[in-house]
Amino acid sequence: MNQLDALKQFTTVVADTGDFRQLAQFQPRDATTNPSLILKAVQKPEYAPLLQDTVARWKGRPMDEIIDRLLVRFGCEILATIPGRVSTEVDARLSFDTSATVTRAERIIELYQAEGIHIDRVLIKIAATWEGIKAAEQLERKGIHTNLTLLFAFCQAVACGQAKVQLISPFVGRIYDWHKKQAGTQWDEAARSGANDPGVQSVTQIYNHYKRFGIATEVMGASFRNVGQITALAGCDLLTIAPELLAQLAASEAPLQRALSADAAQAMDLPAVNYDEAGFRYALNEDAMATEKLAEGIRAFAADAIKLEKLILAA
């Protein structure tokens, strides 16, 4: 049995890509997209007709609507290939606007429903700012399920659990990147790998907290830099993995053991934690890594949304 098949025994495998032509070979249950992945996909020659057709069909509509229709078009193609859910992201420029995020999310769902897609097959991705978490809380009450992304801090995960969001995506690789950069020449790759990887430790803490306190929100580790980070989180609810790393897992027959266990977490002596807005903002502010990476991630996704707009104008 290869490592990918072994991982699927413990964890739901999700493909982290907008390139729906790559999906079939790895047979993931779900798929996630973001502005960067869609931007990367639409610049490939094989997707040019899809971009041009969408733009031509909705020419004259507001740019934000055309972008949402393009995202939904990709989402529908992905859903035709996988049995589960696709995550589609709200414009990152709305990350600090609760009402605008809710409105945009509702439109994305309406566009999917117009294509005959059931609401339960779509997760709306929202940055895990306080405003984003509050938007997700409202959407979940309306039956619209959410995936809170750009999640780097324990306080973000706790607040998402309190809001009863469907799923969170803690970013393993970007946490690892920050700590490696901070350490500079003092970084010891071997000593900080596997269970000692700072990104792996972050997801493990969140997973154990959720399972210990019966929080139903799903934990989906994301943003991996190497296979070791993935195998160290075997047993996590879900892991969203780029095609390149899926291929490495499929090519390896090295043994793979469960690393995370709900039963083990339930037996742990952990403190109960809750946050109001002031407590959340202070805890996030105290976490330099999370503060920097959240801001950086929002800027990057917003920049890619602008690049996507330029491609649409040029199509």
Of 297, 258, 305, 220, nearest in space to 13 by CA: 220
∠35-109-125 over CA atoms, to 5°? 40
CA–CA separation, 243 and 157 (whole Å): 26
How do strand 86-89 and strand 122-127 relate by DSSP bridges?
parallel
Residues linked to residue 32 through DSSP beta bridges, in sequence order: 16, 87
CA distances from residue 43 to 73, 172, 185, 311 in whole angstroms, order as listed: 15, 27, 37, 9
User: What are residue 107's phi and psi, to 5 degrees?
Assistant: -70, -40
Q: Which two tokens stand for residue 229?
A: 């980070």
Q: Which residue reads 């999906």 in tokens?
A: 23
Q: Name the 3-class secondary structure at 7.
A: helix
Amino acid at 250: A
CA distances from residue 62 to 20, 58, 84, 88, 309 in whole angstroms, order as listed: 26, 9, 31, 19, 11
Of 145, 184, 186, nearest in space to 167 by CA: 145
Q: Which of 40, 125, 142, 211 is catalytic?
A: 125
Q: Which residue reads 């020419």 in tokens?
A: 59
Q: What is the DSSP string of 45-80?
A: GGGHHHHHHHHHHTTTS-HHHHHHHHHHHHHHHHHT
- Answer yes or no: 181 catalytic: no
Instruction: Show which residues are catalytic.
Output: 125
